[in-house]
Structure 1
Amino acid sequence: MTILREMNVKEQAIEAKKAAKIVGLLSREDKDEALHVLADTLEKEYKYILKANELDLERGRKKGYEDAFMDRLALTKERVIEFADGLRQVATLDDPTGTILSEWTLDNGLNVQKVTVPLGVIGMIYEARPNVTVDATGLALKSGNSIILKGGSSAISSNKAIVEIMHQALEKTNIPKEAVQFIESTDREATKQLFTMNEHIDVLIPRGGASLINSVVNNATVPVLETGVGNCHIYIDHEADVQKALNILINAKTDRPAVCNAVETVIIQKDWLEKNEELLTSTFKKHGITVHGDERALQCIPGSIPASEEDWADEYLSLELAVRVVNNLEEAVEHIDRYGTKHSEAIITENSETASLFLQLVDASCLYHNASTRFTDGGALGFGAEIGISTQKLHARGPMGLPALTTVKFMMRGNGQVR
């Protein structure tokens, strides 16, 4: 296995920038072939990855990490195959670079083209999920970029093993292994160094909890593509189909409660709740969901506990759920405006006009009518792997796939024109 060479962060950034020049000139065929080699090698070496992952899990157990955190940290053979398949899916997607978005010729004969190009060097700062190491690398390379990976200390063994395997694989391709840099140091100072390397790094992408994201956004001088935490809501309207509402709610809460697109608050119109409180209560009980409710929810849902102000803003990442009872759509939207994180919001209703109004009024990157919030995911939406969910409004918003990792150049071609 290739052993990672220890370098300081600045040296790694310089190497990544040099490599970006090479990757940016490669053909789609070169990049796609490399992604397939990466996928095949990761699958072949899955036992090596799982052995390293067990070291992280053992440290996590000793430190008493919560179940949700351990779920994000854990790898299985199936999860390794899943992120390898994600690389293969990315390889099937169109190359996002070199596209002429618009073209025109001035009166003086000067030809103007607006063309998509790679961002250059991406700094990826993330926490527990080792799959991000693979997803981010695949998207960066396919879009002609190099990447500097700074994962959290909790997944250091897993991430190191994955990058070692990827370096081994890249040596068989036309992409230099220097295009994928991994910062081994778990010292926070190593992360802070990335914040101000404007000369070598073109963009930072933080992916993790609120404290990590806020630290990068508030301290970096390098431009930041901001991802957001997921305090996601589902509003059940008085015209919601009962079975449809329950199926969507349970999927959004229990499928993978530890991920950012899981629902954390359900807002219920009072008339719907009065008609269906017994069925709703039995559903919560069946799936082991703990309810934090407002005053009206406490009256209708036995076993629920009073919701605090923090509960409305919390990202539980577990089988806990805040329940708010409202009179109408307007109150639901008001609640989401106050506590939402602009991630994913859904309405369940059979009234298309009500649904359209909700979709227009609510400010979020992803909005759903009669569907689970769990679809806020690059793979689920056909982007291949994703590099994160952007909750900001500039450059990219929502699940960030290949186009989010490009920018544009204006290329002018003339024949001696002067101004």
Structure 2
Amino acid sequence: MASIAPRPAAQAQGFAEHPVTREAALLRLDAFLPQAGLVYAARRNEEHGAGRHHAVSRLSAALRRRLVSEAEVVARVRAAHGESADKFVTEVFWRSYFKGWLEARPQVWASWRGDLHRLDLRLGEDDGFAARHLAACRGETGIDCFDHWVEELEATGYLHNWARMQFASIWVFTLGLPWQLGARFFLDRLIDGDAASNTLSWRWVAGLHTRGKAYLADADRIARMTGGRFSPRGLATVARIPDEPPAPAAALPRAPLRWQAGVATVLWLTTEDLSLELEAALGDLDVRGVAVLASDGAVPADKTALGDGVQRAVARWHCPFRVCSSAEELAAFAHGEGAGQVLTGFATVGPALEAFPEMKRALRHAGLTLGEHRRAWDDRAWPHATKGFFALKEKIPQLIAAAGIR
């Protein structure tokens, strides 16, 4: 991460299948547009294996980091296909739904973290349990599709969304492993890993999100959707839903930390939002510098994405940048540039928000404040994401219109 510097996005190597620069993501969107309508609706669940995921957009890694926004992707596909793109648009809104649902119930994330600690203790004490878990993580279960998907995930950092559902179902109901460990296995490896979508998708498959409604993998369906590549045997025929208490009632999502328009600012870029330079609300911001934390670039995809975001932000505001090794160094950089505040993209529930207490302490000691910018897309969608997805789905036409999309 220490080598991050503004550079042409075209120089970034790799990630062609799942772009993590804005330029590459826009090229991917261009390539996907012709099939974003009825072709996508008909073929989106076909799973042909690594390097052959041509029926889906492969924009999830870019959307996860907001190198491109949901609004611009939806606008492009609607312009190309009109209402024929409704299935794809609905899938984009699933991302917003999961984000909003977890923002209203941050305890679910905290409980998952606590469950992992308990399960790690069990892995250290129960040899049989540990052996079953290790076999699943190594792809040594004897279930052909599952073992292949482990190999593909390790090699590419990606699985087709439909394959993820089958994988999670087999993990929970056939292998009898806790969903919490499976969610961690995915989040640690996925190039598009997202705290909300990943955690809640695993809970949904396990029958905990929509209470009592689980997803059970079926051998015949797997064979059909994979073109006969797999013929899994011994899959569970009954979904034994984990015995867990219901999710807490929805609460109001926390408000963004306030910032002031007329104050000199250092922009703290994170993988929560890497195209802040395009937000009209920040157009007149007095940006004195751009900073990133070196720890945010520990994963190669994040390092590339952050470098791309730095390049564009520096070009927009014509200011210096700094890769900082700590919150204290970032605070010192901001103070040295004459800033009165640090502004960042809204930190959603998950690792990004967990980094806030340390940053707020460091800035406070330097006489600075921390502010957040939350996008209008989230402000509009999240209030409808507190129950089941249908409550948000029926609002999609209004949400699209409110975003200025036809």
- TM-score norm. by structure 2 comes to 0.26
Max radius of gyration: which structure? 1
- TM-score norm. by structure 1 comes to 0.26
Bigger fraction of residues in helix: 2
